[in-house]
Amino acid sequence: MHKELSQKSDYNLQVSPISKGEYMMAKMIKETEHPLYRKSNKMRMERFGKGLTFLSVALAAAITAAILFLVFSKGLSTFIMNDGSVKDFFTGTTWNPAEVNSLGKPIIGALPFLVGSLAVTGISALLSAPLAIGAAIFMSEIAPKTGKRIMQPVIELLVGIPSVVYGFIGLTVVVPFLRDLFPGSGFGIAAGTIVLSVMILPTVTSLALDAIQAVPRSLREASLALGSTRWQMICEVVLKTAKPGLMMAVIFGMARAFGEALAVQMVIGNAAVIPHSLFEPASTLTSILTMGMGYTVMGQIENNALWSLALVLLLMSLFFTITVRMIGKGKSS
């Protein structure tokens, strides 16, 4: 190593004419710094890597910021530029942004979509949560072997099915089924809810499974050692301990249901009214957004009004994310 170094130094001496003193200095520095010198190659790599990752982060942040800016500025312009009333937006029941009402304000009552979105989200969470938690208990506590070998792959498969397929199945199976059983066309909140609960079921199940499996074995053993039955252990210790995680699982499912557009749009009927029953056509924020997108022109009030719906969607998803984070924080502390 030493030899190699002095050779290098000699080589330096040959190319750059420096005095003997300078050469000695250079040699000393090189020699003392030698291990550092070799490391600095690695350090350069590290700096390069750091720079690269920083760039990706910066890019991601910039894109996010740009999206937020776009949605906020467009979404708010309905109220600022087009003189829309925020109160009308949240309480009005008629959606006709192209026209103005007697006060000269655009008719932008989004309440039917808000109701529709909240209804499909809430009811599908109510339907899928017990099913998902039940399935997760079965997979982790009752038949872990079957769970691992059969249920887990099935769930992974289900997670991967595109939502349009769920919508299509809903359209061909659920809607006619509801039409036969209940008065009406079969399109409506009920159909949307059924499709959505099936769609979010695998996601919620696999997150609930993670939460349940994260309960330490020592707690289960402690419960059994106190003379509990397996069932008591599951209800009183496992589920109670996993509760924050289970709540997170359900909220993730709700976020997914709230934001789902395609599958819902295919089965909900897309009527811009507050339905009187679960079996009448209705619509959600997402369905009205996808329906209207193609028919409006950028910059016009009809288009801006849709951006306002998008803003509500964004704020809701932000709300879901923050809730999940807060539960997560509470869990870790």
Is 12 or 228 the residue whose CB approaches other proteins more closely? Answer: 228
Q: How far is the CB of 220 from other proteins (least distance, A)?
A: 9
Q: How far is the CB of 25 from other proteins (least distance, A)?
A: 57
C-alpha distances in angstroms, 67 versus 74, 80, 261, 266, 310?
A: 10, 19, 19, 27, 11
In this structure, what token pair is assigned to residue 1?
Answer: 């190593």
Q: How far is the CB of 151 from other proteins (least distance, A)?
A: 19
Residues in the chain: 333
Is 110 or 242 the residue whose CB approaches other proteins more closely? Answer: 242
272-295 per-residue burial string, b: 16 or more CB within 10 A, e: under 16? bbbbeebbbbbbbbbbbbbebeee
Is 21 or 227 the residue whose CB approaches other proteins more closely? Answer: 227
Q: 267, 174 in Cβ contact below 8 A?
A: yes
| Encoded amino acid at 291, one letter | M
Is 39 or 243 the residue whose CB approaches other proteins more closely? Answer: 243
Three-state SS for 260-327 is: CCHHHHHHHECCCCCCCCCCCCECCHHHHHHHHHCCCCCCCHHHHHHHHHHHHHHHHHHHHHHHHHHH
In this structure, what token pair is assigned to residue 95?
Answer: 């959606």
Residue numbers at the binding site for other proteins (CB under 8 A): 216, 218-219, 221-229, 232, 236-237, 240-241
Q: How far is the CB of 232 from other proteins (least distance, A)?
A: 5
Is 157 or 214 the residue whose CB approaches other proteins more closely? Answer: 214
Question: What is the spatial distance between Cα 257 and Cα 264, in angstroms, rounded to a whole number?
Answer: 9
Q: How far is the CB of 209 from other proteins (least distance, A)?
A: 19
Is 42 or 217 the residue whose CB approaches other proteins more closely? Answer: 217
Is 103 or 225 the residue whose CB approaches other proteins more closely? Answer: 225
Closest CA to 141 of 200, 202, 217: 217
Q: How far is the CB of 222 from other proteins (least distance, A)?
A: 4
Question: What is the spatial distance between Cα 161 and Cα 175, in angstroms, rounded to a whole number?
Answer: 20
Q: How far is the CB of 223 from other proteins (least distance, A)?
A: 8
Closest CA to 151 of 206, 208, 196: 206
